[in-house]
Amino acid sequence: MAEKTLAGKTVEVNDEGYLLNRDDWDKDLAAEMAKEDGIELTDKHYEVLEYLREKEAAGESLTIRKVGKSGITDIKGLYQLFPGGPLKLSSKYAGIAKPASCV
């Protein structure tokens, strides 16, 4: 656990940089998190983040396939938006927990 100042706000994050409290999230904070990884957030990125926040709040499990079927973008597009780790990165910028795949 650590504290971090993002977009002028002090928030609690875990050792991988994920917010501990999803209510701390706002768009500026997301932009700053993404910037640290060299990603500039566009409206398309934000649509994905909002979608993830909504689904997570509803208690649904999150998978790349699910986001790919969301109508916002397809899986290929998702990889282009968040290169390297679409779900790992997008969930971090969405201020939610890293989706745990069940064993």
Partner 1 sequence: MKKLVILGAGTAGTMMANKLRGALDREEWSITIVDQFKTHYYQPGFLFIPFGIYNSHDVIKPKSDFIPTGVNMIYSAIDRVEAESNKVHLEGGKILNYDYLIIATGTKTFPDETPGLQDKLWHKEIFDFYTIEGACALQRFFKGWEGGKLVMAITELPYKCPVAPLEFVFLADAYFTQIGIRDKVDISYVTPMPGAFTKPVATKMLSELLAEKNITVIPDFYIERVDNDSKKLISYDEREVEFDVLTVVPVNMGDEMIERSGLGDDMNFVPTDKETLQSKKHENIFVLGDASNIPTSKAGSVAHFAAEILFENLMSAIEGRPLHAKFDGHANCYIETGFGKGALIDFNYDTEPLPGTFPLPGLGPFGLLENTKINHYGKVMFRWIYWHILLKGKELPVEPLMTMAGKKKVN
Name the site residues for partner 1 (rule: CB under 8 A).
60-61, 63-66, 69, 75-76, 78-79, 83-86, 88, 100-103
Residue 82's nearest CA partner among 55, 54, 46 is: 46
Residue 25's nearest CA partner among 12, 15, 38 is: 12
> Which CB, 4 or 66, lies closer to partner 1?
66
Q: Which of 1, 58, 100, 102 is catalytic?
A: 102
Answer yes or no: 102 catalytic. Answer: yes
Question: Whole-number minimum distance, CB 49 to partner 1, in Å?
Answer: 19
How does DSSP classify residue 82? Answer: S
Residue 62's nearest CA partner among 37, 40, 90 is: 90
Question: Whole-number minimum distance, CB 1 to partner 1, in Å?
Answer: 15
